[in-house]
Structure 1
Amino acid sequence: MTYKTVLLVLDANQHEADLTAAADLCAAANAHLSVFLVKVAPPQFGDYTALSVAWLDIRAAEIEQLDKAIEASRTTLKDLGISSDVAGEYIETAWDDDLVGERARYADVTLIGTSMDPSLRTRAIEGALFYSARPVLLATNRQSVTLLPKRILLAWNSSFESTRAAREALDMMRNAESVNVVLVDPTAASRRNGGEPGADVATYLSRHGIHVTVDRLPSAGRRVEEILNQHALDTAADLIVMGAYGRSRLREKVFGGVTKAMIEAPIVPVLMVR
């Protein structure tokens, strides 16, 4: 997939660093940057009759802050000279994931920066993953995010989600210098990994002109996300490509899981596909 439109979701409270990083990413990839600034309205509890004026004043001030953030972002991007558009929305918490998902349907990938409020960041990621049928690209503080990675780690477990991730990243992998297909504790099974785990996906990718190295790694009591992150560092990967939410969101939130862990603490940039 060649990415021509990147949706950047921003927290209106803190967005400058993410905006300039996204502009650099799009300039390098010759892509259009579509910026969506979000300001979440404060909740209203109980009887606000006595506090209605103060509550409305707060909302008015926050809407003004959002408008200023939109104008500042437009000015920054105009000065940088990249193809872009900027919009914003003052929304209730209950609707922010739906709205992000709706916006994401008209982009090739949704970029999530590093400076968002944690709860807004999680809802934005889930909104794009569950309501847009588009991938999500997670930035990190450790290294710059790019649409032109030289070294890619593909997390593979033969699931529908990892299959979609591999298909989504074909162009990236074709243009990369190295691709490591990583399987953690794989078992040989004809209906899943085949007699030689990783061989089937390696053959598939090779037909697209992608040369891969298959790494079968033991967990040795460690969590899968720890192994993926460490191997990404060991191979100097610019990007981890992985499927997201192979089990339900509820199970991930209650019991934890690889998707949840990678969302919360990515070591290198991650491209997630559901």
Structure 2
Amino acid sequence: MSYKTVLSVTGIHQSDDDLRAAAELCASAGAHLSALVVALSASPPIGEYAAAVSVDWLDERSREIAKLDERAEDAKALLAQTGISFDVDTIYTEIAWSDEEIGERASYADISLLGPGLKLDPELRVRAIDGCLFKSARPVLIVPKRGKPTLSPRTIILAWDSRLEAARAAREAIDMMKNAEVHVTLVDPRASSARNGEEPGADIAAYLARHGIEVTVDRLASGGRPVDDVLNQHALDVSADLMVMGGYSHSRLRERIFGGVTRAMLESANIPVLMIH
């Protein structure tokens, strides 16, 4: 997959570090950077106290919009110095439908980049991941603290469990894997014709081999440890600089609830993670 447009989502209270990292990534890949600065608005006051607090609420909205515009101008000034192709846009939206709006923007990029600075605004981070991952049908590159985003990794872990999301993630990362050392990694796999096959990992290894990719199949025993701990330790053991995995969830009303391993990896990954739903 050739990545020609990268969407970087940031908030109004972040430093410039995530934008700088996104600019470096785009410079190395020859890609266009779409920087999206997002501010989440509180819902308007309702009920018997609405009249009393509406003025304060409107004043707060005005301050947030001014801050959003200021942050966007700062982003333009920073990116203008990098020499890359870029655009900067803003969203001021209520929390309830922010994921829909972010997801719509992500639909017009090849990949979304979410840096560690988003952890300063946990609500925005959750909404950005939700929107980019589940509402855009595009991959998301999630970068942890002290992680360096890359589209040209040297060593890749493909977290494999034979499910649809993992298959989509593998297909998305094929071009990356052609030039990398690839570890197809299964945790506590069960040999079954209906799931992993009689030799877990063999089928996906054969599929990747037909694309000219040499892989090592690593079948790991958890020993009762959480799967994310096992994957993170294995990433350290093989000096991986990217993990590729499917993003899992289930819906409840209008809330998107991440699956257990997905949620854990979003919080605990020690290297960048490329996810696709």
Give the match for residue 160 of structure 2: 156
Distance in 1 between the 2:197 and 2:256 partners? Answer: 27
Q: The residue matched to 2:161 in structure 1 has which SS? A: coil
The CA deviation at 1:241 is 0.1
**Which of 52, 55, 58 does residue 56 from structure 1 map onto?**
58
Residues 159-202 of structure 1 deviation map (CA, whole Å, 9 limit, x = unaligned): 000000000000010121x1000001111112221111111111
**Which of 189, 192, 215 does residue 189 from structure 1 map onto?**
192
Give the match for residue 4 of structure 2: 4
Task: Report if the CA contact (8 A) 2:39-2:93 is conserved.
Answer: yes
Distance in 2 between the 1:169 and 1:112 partners? Answer: 18
Give the match for residue 146 of structure 2: 142
The CA deviation at 1:252 is 8.6
Distance in 1 between the 2:125 and 2:152 partners? Answer: 24
Distance in 1 between the 2:156 and 2:236 partners? Answer: 11
Give the match for residue 245 of structure 2: 242
Distance in 2 between the 1:142 and 1:235 partners? Answer: 18
Task: Report if the CA contact (8 A) 1:252-1:260 is conserved.
Answer: no
TM-score norm. by structure 2 comes to: 0.94
Task: Report if the CA contact (8 A) 2:130-2:256 is conserved.
Answer: no
Give the match for residue 257 of structure 1: 260
Q: How does 1:60-71 map to 2 (within 5 A)?
A: 60-71=62-73
Give the match for residue 18 of structure 1: 18
Give the match for residue 83 of structure 2: 81
Residues 59-80 of structure 1 deviation map (CA, whole Å, 9 limit, x = unaligned): 1111011001111111111111
Task: Report if the CA contact (8 A) 2:228-2:265 is conserved.
Answer: yes
Give the match for residue 40 of structure 2: 40
Task: Report if the CA contact (8 A) 2:45-2:54 is conserved.
Answer: no
**Which of 101, 104, 108 does residue 102 from structure 1 map onto?**
104
Letter in 2 for 1:264: E
Task: Report if the CA contact (8 A) 2:45-2:53 is conserved.
Answer: no
**Which of 99, 119, 123 does residue 119 from structure 1 map onto?**
123
Give the match for residue 134 of structure 2: 130
| 1:273 pairs with 2:261 | no
Letter in 2 for 1:162: A
The CA deviation at 1:253 is 4.4
Task: Report if the CA contact (8 A) 1:252-1:259 is conserved.
Answer: no
Q: The residue matched to 1:26 in structure 2 has which SS? A: helix
Q: The residue matched to 2:51 in structure 1 has which SS? A: coil
Distance in 2 between the 1:248 and 1:56 partners? Answer: 36
Give the match for residue 227 of structure 1: 230
The CA deviation at 1:15 is 4.0
Runs of 4+ aligned structure 1 residues displaced above 6 Å come to none
Identity %: 55
The CA deviation at 1:58 is 1.2
